Chains A and B, each alone.
Chain A
Amino acid sequence: MLQAGQLTKHFVDKKKGTIRAVDGVDLDCKRGEIFGLLGLNGAGKTTTLRLLATILRPDTGSIRIDGIDALTHPEAVRSRIGFLTGTTGLYLRLTPREILSYFGRLASMDAPTVKRRSDDLIDRLGMAEFADRRVDKLSSGQKQRTSIARTLIHDPPLLILDEPTTGLDVVTSRAIVEFIREARTLGKCVLFSTHIMHEAAKLCDRIAILHAGKIRRVGTLADFRSHYGHEDLDDIFVAAIEDNGGSAR
């Protein structure tokens, strides 16, 4: 579903000089898989996901999504991606239904399809009660459900979620976790980033640990446990970050 090879991206900071935010990242995620990108703050997770979502262009490297080259056909690729971040905002003066319609239309869906799809999502996510209320009148949980619906409006096969639970309360972040699991059962590929090992361990089929713009290790939780010889998840995470040699896959 998603193949990225040797992605690099640098930024120039006035104070710190050139920063290699992403430095030769390779990724390969499949349909029906939840893939976790785990790393500390500033490890390069957000930049990597923005590159994959074609929001940013890489300096070098290749991205193929659903067999399409993301660098030459970014719009075609974007129509196959649902993108959500923990800090994603919504248009406060619009209603959830209007937001769904806007993003549906942006994805070139025709009006009847947008309507059918919106009604379906509003029903499935329990949004009926507030679907026609302005977003600035909604609770944070209701906003989050609106964001999820917005991500799914064009039925994308790939979901890219950047720290989707950051800053959310327990109930709301549980809704996100359920949404991720349900996406897998629907055969979607889910790529999500987090800095919380437990979250990654709980959800992911495979985990990649990203540090200083480089992938340190990719594998299942069992692989990580046997490789580092730790049971505790935090110990594994720290060991992986400190492990400079291993890039075994």
Chain B
Amino acid sequence: MSGILTVFFKEIKDILRDRRTIISMVIVPLLFYPILTMGLASIISSQIEKTRAERQPVLVLSTNAAPELMSSLAADSSLRVVPADSIQALLLRHAETDTSLKIETIQRIFRTQAGQIPKESKEHIYYAAISKKWIKAVVEMPATMPAQTASQDSMVIGVYTDQADVNSEAAGDHIRDWATALNDSLVDQRLARFGVNRRALQPFWLSSQDVAPKSKQSGRLMAIMLPYMLMILTMTGGMYPAMDITAGEKERNTLETLLAAPVARWHLAVGKFLTVLTAGFVTMLLSMTSMTLSMKWGMMGMSEGGDQAASFSMSAGTLGWILLLMIPMATLFSALLIVIAIAARSYKEAQSYVTPLLMVVIMPAMINFVPGIELNWALTFVPVVNLCLALKEVLLGIAKPAQILAVFGTTALYAGFMLFVASRIFDRESVLFRT
């Protein structure tokens, strides 16, 4: 036993002096989540605010035919109606170099005949004007006037945007908001003429309430994300140490000396395995702490979901279950990393083996992103998948103890087998002395 501990303490001391390990084990988990949640979230929300606040330039066609609509649109504070002449001039000049734009079609569009032009032809021209950033959207007004209170007709206003462009999308939203408001007021006016109350059009309303406690609502996102993150972090945390203390020993010519030391081979293996396991667990714990705190404090600043995030908390029992379930999983990963990395002749070769392994773990770990999949007895035997589902159910508070224990059992079984393989691999000359 003392051999195992000697190897373990030496390896821990050694990897803690390695910058790569410190970065992957401590720095990344501690900084990643605060940056992700606070930094990214605030950048996104400020960008959305900025886009919303800008007055988006729009081109309005057939303006003469609908002066009432036109004046209402021009009065909207979030839109800016661009003079049609200037856009026409820009398009005609552009058509000289871009032959796909037909001059005649452009002229017809601006001669208020847009309604008669084939869809593809005019959309191509609208797209050219939007992609050139001259305008963000095109509004095709109807030729006749629909807004009269006396009328009972309905008219179509065409709105053309580029949904791949955030600003164009925002312009489309503004136009829809404007149309909804105007529509409502025109409907009210028409109804008033007939002496009809608006409520007559809506015999009843649905009032839906989510009865789940606040903590559970926010727990849902956590239940999907956390198991996935735990898998990846436990793996990545152990990756660099695993490569360093196996393939790295070969590369630095220290392995032979170690094998000549009076210590049982399996003691070496287990000491190294415990090092990788510790690194994986430390990474996982630091990440969980950092992620929970980031969600608690960072998300409060965001306009949406602030209350939910603030109310997020994990009970000691839940945390205990998570840690308990992660022990066999981390064991399996660590032993697997040792087995794979010791087969490599160099650190670089080890990286080329371990990177695909990470992919193999990421895929099944995404199971929680698929809606509707629940833990059943068959899935209990699928590694990674079983644990991700079990962790989700634990986090949601809907776990069945028998199934959770079964998941723990099967994972422990796989882990035990892999640990056995790892302990024996230091006896394999063909692996240790590959040429």
> How many angstroms from the CA of A92 to the CA of B244 in the assembled complex?
12
* Chain A residue, CB-CB nearest to B427: A57
> How many angstroms from the CA of A227 to the CA of B275 in the assembled complex?
57
- Cross-chain contact A89 with B253 (CB below 8 angstroms): yes
Q: Is B111 an interface residue (CB 8 A)?
A: no
Contacting A89 at CB < 8 Å: which of B3, B14, B252, B262? B252
The 4 closest A-B pairs by CB, nearest first: A89-B253, A79-B262, A83-B260, A78-B262
B118 to chain A, nearest CB (A): 67
Query: Which secondary structure dominates chain A's binding surface?
Result: loop
Q: Is A239 an interface residue (CB 8 A)?
A: no
> How many angstroms from the CA of A231 to the CA of B117 in the assembled complex?
107
Give chain A residues whose Cβ lies under 8 Å from the Cβ of B260.
53-55, 78, 81, 83, 160
Give chain B residues whose Cβ lies under 8 Å from the Cβ of A107.
261-263
- Interface bits B392-435 vs A (CB < 8 Å: 1, else 0): 00000000000000000000000000000000000001000100
The stretch that binds B, out of A97-105, A170-178, A194-202, is: A97-105
Q: Is B256 an interface residue (CB 8 A)?
A: yes
* Chain B residue, CB-CB nearest to A107: B262
- Size of chain A's interface in residues, with CB distance under 8 A? 33
B93 to chain A, nearest CB (A): 66
Q: Is A140 an interface residue (CB 8 A)?
A: no
> How many angstroms from the CA of A149 to the CA of B147 in the assembled complex?
98
> How many angstroms from the CA of A134 to the CA of B16 in the assembled complex?
14
Q: Is A94 an interface residue (CB 8 A)?
A: yes
> Once A and B bind, how many residue pairs between them come within 8 Å at the CB atom?
74
* Chain B residue, CB-CB nearest to A79: B262
- Cross-chain contact A75 with B263 (CB below 8 angstroms): yes
- Cross-chain contact B254 with A85 (CB below 8 angstroms): no
Give chain B residues whose Cβ lies under 8 Å from the Cβ of A55.
256, 259-260
- Cross-chain contact B254 with A90 (CB below 8 angstroms): yes
- Cross-chain contact B14 with A93 (CB below 8 angstroms): yes
Q: Is A166 an interface residue (CB 8 A)?
A: no
Q: Is B198 an interface residue (CB 8 A)?
A: no
Could you write out 12 A-B pairs with CB less than 8 Å apart?
A53-B260, A78-B261, A79-B262, A90-B252, A91-B252, A93-B14, A102-B6, A106-B6, A107-B263, A108-B262, A134-B17, A160-B260
Q: When A75-B263, A83-B260, A154-B262 are in contact, do A108 and B433 touch as well, CB less than 8 Å?
A: no
* Chain B residue, CB-CB nearest to A86: B253
> How many angstroms from the CA of A160 to the CA of B261 in the assembled complex?
12
Q: Is A88 an interface residue (CB 8 A)?
A: yes
- Cross-chain contact B429 with A57 (CB below 8 angstroms): yes
Q: Is B124 an interface residue (CB 8 A)?
A: no
Q: Is B13 an interface residue (CB 8 A)?
A: yes
Give chain B residues whose Cβ lies under 8 Å from the Cβ of A75.
262-264
> How many angstroms from the CA of A109 to the CA of B6 in the assembled complex?
11
Q: Is B18 an interface residue (CB 8 A)?
A: yes
A176 to chain B, nearest CB (A): 16
Q: Is B116 an interface residue (CB 8 A)?
A: no
> How many angstroms from the CA of A92 to the CA of B7 in the assembled complex?
16
Q: Is A128 an interface residue (CB 8 A)?
A: no
